[in-house]
Structure 1
């Protein structure tokens, strides 16, 4: 169970840094705003996305959050990564930016699976 906890926290911290900390510090830069515009989204969408990302990562890392709420956070990030990949593919064609969000989707899935392993272990004792 120790290895499952380590895997959970490593993958969850990666999501926390990539989806929470980085957007919080970079969302108002011109590069970030241009990235949102390039994909055809209005600027307010980027602002709303950052707020939801920060709330979502907090829901994932705070241990006292109810399991159902965490499930919604996992689902939200899964949709975020899938639609980011689709957006990049639609605008720029198939390239690195199309697959980059899918790498983080895989990390999210590993976090999700290990989270449920930990829940099942706690329920069995």
Structure 2
């Protein structure tokens, strides 16, 4: 059980840092705005995305959040990573950066799997 908690929290903290803290601190920079524009999205989309990421990270990391809300947060991040990959492939073509969201999706999958392992163990 302890190993499962360590794996869950390690994966979830990586997601929280990459998808919550980092966007919150860097979304106002010109480089971040250029990245959104390069993909063909309007500036307000970047702001909306950052707000949704922060809310999603809070849902994943606060233990008192209901399981159904956590499920929606996980689903939202899956959509985010899949569509980010499609956007990068469409605009930038096939390169390593285009597949980086899928790497983060793998870390999210670890968090999700261990979230369920822990919730099953807790309900026994």
> Which bracket does the TM-score occupy, shorter chain normalised?
over 0.9
Could you say which residue in structure 2 is the equivalent of 1:22?
22
Partner Cα separation in structure 1 for residue 29 and residue 47 of structure 2? 11
Find the residue that maps to 2:123 and give its secondary structure.
helix
Residues 44-81 of structure 1: CA deviation (Å, up to 9, x unaligned): 00000000000100000000000000000000001000
Residue pairs, 1:63-102, within 5 angstroms: 63-102=63-102
Aligned length: 124
What is the Cα-based RMSD across aligned positions, in Å? Answer: 0.4
Q: In structure 2, how many angstroms separate the alpha carbons of the residues matched to 1:51 and 1:97?
A: 23
Match of 2:5 in 1: 5
Q: Aligned to 1:94, what secondary structure does the other structure show?
A: coil
Per-residue deviation, 1:97: 1.5
Q: Deviation at 1:3?
A: 0.6
Partners of 1:26 and 1:99 lie apart in 2 by 21
Q: Which residue in the other structure is 2:38 paired with?
A: 38
Q: Partner of 2:40: helix, strand, or coil?
A: coil
Q: Distance in 2 between matches of 1:76 and 1:46?
A: 15
Structure 1 runs (4+) greater than 2 angstroms displaced: none
TM-score normalised by the chain length of structure 1: 0.98
Q: Structure 1: which 5+ residue stretches go unaligned?
A: none
**CA separation in 1, counterparts of 2:110 and 2:55?**
20
Counterpart of 2:116 in structure 1 is 116
Matching of residues 42-53 of structure 1 within 5 Å: 42-53=42-53
